[in-house]
Amino acid sequence: MDQILRVKELRDVLLLASDQSRILKALRGLQELGVLQEQVLAETFVGLAVDVLGKDAKIPETTKTLCSELVSTWQQGLHEGRSSSRPETSRRERSRSPDDVAAVPRLTKQRLRVVEKLSEALSTASTCSGRPNVSSCRSILMLAAEIESVLFTKLEGRKYVSQARSLLYNIKDESNEFARRLLDGELRISQLPSLTAEDMASSKKNAERAQLRQEAFEAAAVRPASHSITDRFVCEKCSGSRTAYTQSAAVESCVRSGGEPVETMVTFVTCLHCSHTWTERSGFA
């Protein structure tokens, strides 16, 4: 546990510091720790942080070289640790590393792509809202990596891809407060896999969807073209006054007229709030 905290401290220096001497000192500190265990690499995403730093065109070549050496050392240690627990694995198979991009255990190229997309979207949202950093100890890259890790852990296959796309869509939506809530910590990362489209959508978008549902409901309730919408009737079930009705003439026998046939107007009414239906008659003598 102490090593995990130490690695996180050095990782945050790499992510947030602008002074090259501090960055180089942090890299040296990581180098002194030697080969890191799989648990440390998985919990800290330090390999990803160092890998991204090494690709920065603004840093000196000596720093880039040190970043590359660190990632290679961790990657090699990760594979050797696994191969020692599987002695039957061939040497050729041990040399393969398809699932540990940037020395992060089980991070595939597809998953890395999701991390990069999330990081890019969050970075744009952060810049637009005037937040250059999420906090003093967490970078947007790490936030994106943590989000992806939770999605990958709790969702599988198409559900993972679908939820990642939904998150990206709502983070990029400038009219939505979703990105701000993420950056400000109002939303817990553990909640993200179970959020629905309505949970993530803006209040404006939810209002639009509610209106569409209401229109669809009314269209379904008023199928015949002869229906008309009125507020003349009051629903006895929900007291709503928005109703649709249709009328037809009928000849019925009336007791008060001695059983003689009387023309009656029958009104078929449907409440558009609760779908309750009833009939009303008029025209008795």
Among 107, 127, 156, give the residue marking a domain's end. 107
Average pLDDT over residues 81-88: 63
Instruction: Note whether 248 and 216 are same-domain residues.
Output: no
Instruction: Note whether 95 and 83 are same-domain residues.
Output: yes
Q: How many CB atoms lie within 10 A of CB 175?
A: 9
Residue with the two structure tokens 């998150």 = 167
82's tokens = 């696994």
Q: How far apart are CA 189 and CA 170, in angstroms?
A: 15
Instruction: Note whether 67 and 38 are same-domain residues.
Output: yes
Total number of domains constituting the chain: 3
Check which CATH number belongs to the domain holding 252 and give it.
Answer: 2.20.25.10
Instruction: Note whether 114 and 215 are same-domain residues.
Output: yes
120-138 residues labelled b (16+ CB within 10 A) or e (exposed): bbbbebbeeeebeebeeeb
Residue 90 has pLDDT above 60, yes or no: no
Instruction: Note whether 122 and 157 are same-domain residues.
Output: yes
Instruction: Note whether 112 and 207 are same-domain residues.
Output: yes
Instruction: Note whether 177 and 157 are same-domain residues.
Output: yes
Q: Which residue has the higher pLDDT, 145 or 249?
A: 145
The percentage of residues in the chain with a pLDDT greater than 90, rounded to a whole number, is 16
For the segment 186-232, what is each residue's pLDDT rounded down to a tens digit? 888 999 999 988 888 777 776 777 777 777 666 655 554 567 888 88
Instruction: Note whether 212 and 244 are same-domain residues.
Output: no
Residue 111 has pLDDT above 50, yes or no: yes
Among 221, 249, 264, give the residue marking a domain's end. 221
DSSP letters of 133-191?
A: -SBTTB-HHHHHHHHHHHHHHH--HHHHHHHHHHHHHHHH-TT-SHHHHHHTT-S-GGG
The pLDDT of residue 96 is 40
Instruction: Note whether 170 and 230 are same-domain residues.
Output: no
Instruction: Note whether 230 and 254 are same-domain residues.
Output: yes
Q: Domain residues for 20?
A: 1-107
Instruction: Note whether 141 and 158 are same-domain residues.
Output: yes
Instruction: Note whether 151 and 213 are same-domain residues.
Output: yes
The pLDDT of residue 234 is 92
Among 72, 91, 107, give the residue marking a domain's end. 107
Mean pLDDT of the residues in the chain: 80
